[in-house]
Amino acid sequence: MNKAPSNAPIEPVGASLAPHAGPGASLPPPAAEGRSRRMPRRVVLRAWQLLLLVFILGVWHLMSRDPGVAFFFGEPLVIAQRIWDWFVVNADIYRHLQVTLAETVLAFGIGTASGLAAGLWLGLSPLASAILDPYIKAANSMPRVILAPIFGMWFGLGIWSKVALAVTLVFFIVFFNVYQGVREVSPTLLDNARMLGASRRQLLRHVYLPSATSWVFSSLHTSVGLAFVGAVVGEYLGSAAGVGYLILQAEGTFDVNTVFAGIVVLTAFALVLDGLVGLVEKRLMRWQPKAGETERL
């Protein structure tokens, strides 16, 4: 005799093995779970970086006990004391630091703006790009140091000769990245925008500029350091103020500790400017998916 079929719902296989959540329970959102996994990894990464720095300084300190090593490579404790004197005890570095930072910021801004404008223009104008191509390559291949005396003759030994030298370093980095970013725009995207009636100005604002923005920020991280390099090299060749001037004076007296102290100060401020560029990049590039997100979609 056959039994009547039961109307009870069939429980999926393995459902009994799953933990039963209460009526008010909810699963953690994926974003929060991802952040909770990233935080320990970030902390561990920073810890390893700090340990590496401590290890390098420790080895340096032990090796500098030899007078021969200390003469050429300096002593970490003496370098730290020199930096402390500059900023706290004597407070005599602020005038020089103000000059170097002004040169760097001006060169960074002028070089970025001019590189962005030139890259967009030549990227959107194939004829002008073909005409100017050999001249741009020739100017880019020219050693920048030989331009310093020329800029000194043109602008004098004031701040603008250093700014001009640093601009030549920043300009080409930004220019080539923007030019490549404009040329990499998908033709299909351009055709679709034109089919929707986009004007040339709208294409520039909504298609070309977003495409070039990611290339611009990838070049700005390099340009920050190059702006410092241009400013310091200009101060080497002729200046009465600036961190490069302090380093040059210390080299003249074989004061390697002051030289390294100046290098540390310049490196620290370059990292600060690079961090500011990174913050601006994160704010302006929120629309861009992070690495790996495209593959998961």
Q: Which of 222-226, 242-246, 278-282 has the lowest mean pLDDT?
A: 278-282
Q: pLDDT by residue (tens digit) across 83-131?
A: 998 888 888 888 888 998 999 999 999 999 999 889 888 888 888 888 9
Whole-model pTM: value is 0.71
Ramachandran quadrant class, 60 (left: phi over 0; alpha: psi -120 to 50; beta: rest): alpha
In the block, tokens 């009465």 appear at 240
Phi, psi of 205 (to 5 degrees): -75, -40
**Distance (Å, rounded) from C-alpha 208 to C-alpha 192?**
14
Answer with the residue of higher pLDDT: 32 or 71: 71
Cβ proximity of 115 and 170 under 8 Å = yes
pLDDT for 292: 47
Cβ proximity of 257 and 204 under 8 Å = no
Q: pLDDT by residue (tens digit) across 36-86?
A: 555 688 888 889 989 999 999 999 989 988 888 888 888 899 999 999 988
